Chains A and B, each alone.
Chain A
Amino acid sequence: MKTNRFLLLGLLILLYHPRLHAEDPVKGLRQKITEEKKIVLKNDTVTIKPYWFMPTQFKVQYAGSIGFVSFGAGYDFRNGYQPTLLYGFLDRNFGGSNITVHTISLKNRFKLTQNPILGCFTPIAGISVNWGITNNTFNRLPPHYPENYYFQNKIHLSPFWGGEFNFSVAQKNLGVYFEFSTLDAYLLEYFRTDFVKLNKIWSLGMGITLYLN
């Protein structure tokens, strides 16, 4: 566990280290993404963005039920919808687990306010689709089971809520966010039993977003 914390610390320092960004690859990337080209077609001039498909935001996340650490890229739509595809990893060295879990997560995040509150805080909520790759998980049951013996356990829906602090550092737009997420299976037990209270189902995740637009 201790080495993990040092790794995390190292990662954060790296990310913030000014010397690393001496040539500022972020700036170059941002220019490429926002680059516009004008093409003349007969009598019309059409403006196109050749890199329209490039993700406009990148995330690094710690915990949050999708692995010890996860990395992702996503888009920012005008209506506040921010889909991000993340890959999360958990094993002996990253998270001190005795098994390896790969998770692919589609985070469907929505900004709850159009402009940040007090200019820096945006409440967020949404639902993730988490696909876990590890032992004894399946979409379709192996053939030796009778039909409907178990429900699939590879994909879980994970509703979440939280917030993001936005600020600019060295002309880079950054967001530090936290999320409380739960799982369809946990939520079901919350509704089904008195024992499982709301405080028993949330799991905390924290991360950093780098915005390029």
Chain B
Amino acid sequence: MRKIGLYISVLLSILNYACTDLMEYSPYEGKVQEGSRSLNQTAIGKLQLQSSKTFKPFTFAIIGDSHTYYDDFIKQISVLNNLDSIDMVIHMGDITLSGIYREFLWYRDIIKPLKYPLITIIGNHDYLSNGEYMYRDMFGPTNFSFTYNNCLLVFFDDITWERNTKDPDFEWLKSTISATATYTHKFVFTHIPPWDEQFSHGNELYYNYLLAKNNVDYSIHGHIHRFYHDKHYADLYGNVNYLACGDSQDHEVVLVKVKENNIDVEVIHF
């Protein structure tokens, strides 16, 4: 009698340990498995080791909006692995379609072979269901920044609608990019470009104003699913360069080559 219950419990425990991906309590799960936590922090840790105190030219690659275009995304990762002399890869958000559990696990599986440190920012789709909690558990905070070769890289969560129309944390952005240290260049990475419909007009202009006032060189985005490179608000205010990369289906990788006096953008098609 009691033995049956015991057998079942033992079997459950063995299965639970043996096949971690087989057990899914809910597609709305908000917690990843051991070993896939704080991936952004790990990548930043690696970058800090190779970063120098004074400016040194470096290159980063940007990709974005991989959603569930998994086959194209795998190709993108292998193209990145074949490139040499890039320092890091930045995924501009929307790593899932519905923010559900296995989509995060599949992303984790696909990025595993990438040999460069990868920073992932949150996209609007990643906020759906409990995606926000999955993101925080898997990658870390949604707003963060670090210094690399005396350049400031700021990663800013500007999702609005999926956070119930809560304004992005502009106070955090302001205090981060107005740091008094003399950086050679400043970059701000957000998923949604400010001219998108998720931004109110006030937020749009304020975002551009903050960046221009604090001498940010480049504002880099995903979300629009196509390549874009222009000084979007040049005739209105400031001189900030806006750059966006396409989605995984576009079969491209955007390289940003940071030099002392200028920044070159190169698009690799494959």
B positions within 8 Å CB-CB of A: 1-2, 4-6, 8-9, 12-13, 15-16, 19, 21-31, 68-71, 74, 97-100, 102-103, 106, 110, 127-133, 137, 161-162, 164-165, 197
Contacts and interface: CB of A to CB of B under 8 A. Distances in A.
B174 to A, nearest CB: 25
Contacts of A53: none
Interface in A1-22: 5, 8-9, 12-13, 15-18
Contacts of A206: 8, 12
Contact of B161 (A99, A144, A203): A144
Contacts of B128: 136-137, 150, 153
Given A135-B129, A195-B110, 13 more contacts: A63-B24, A68-B25, A98-B133, A98-B137, A99-B30, A132-B26, A153-B128, A170-B1, A185-B100, A192-B68, A193-B71, A194-B71, A203-B24
Given A5-B9, A185-B100, A195-B70, A95 B161 contact: no
Contacts of A134: 26, 28, 129-130
Nearest to A143: B165
A137 B25 CA distance: 17
Given A145-B161, A185-B98, A200-B106, A193 B28 contact: no
B25 A8 contact: no
Contacts of B161: 142, 144-145, 149
Nearest to B19: A204
27 contacts: A9-B9, A65-B26, A65-B27, A67-B25, A67-B26, A97-B26, A98-B137, A99-B30, A101-B29, A132-B129, A134-B26, A134-B129, A136-B131, A136-B132, A151-B98, A153-B99, A153-B128, A169-B1, A170-B1, A183-B100, A183-B102, A185-B100, A193-B70, A194-B70, A195-B70, A201-B102, A204-B19
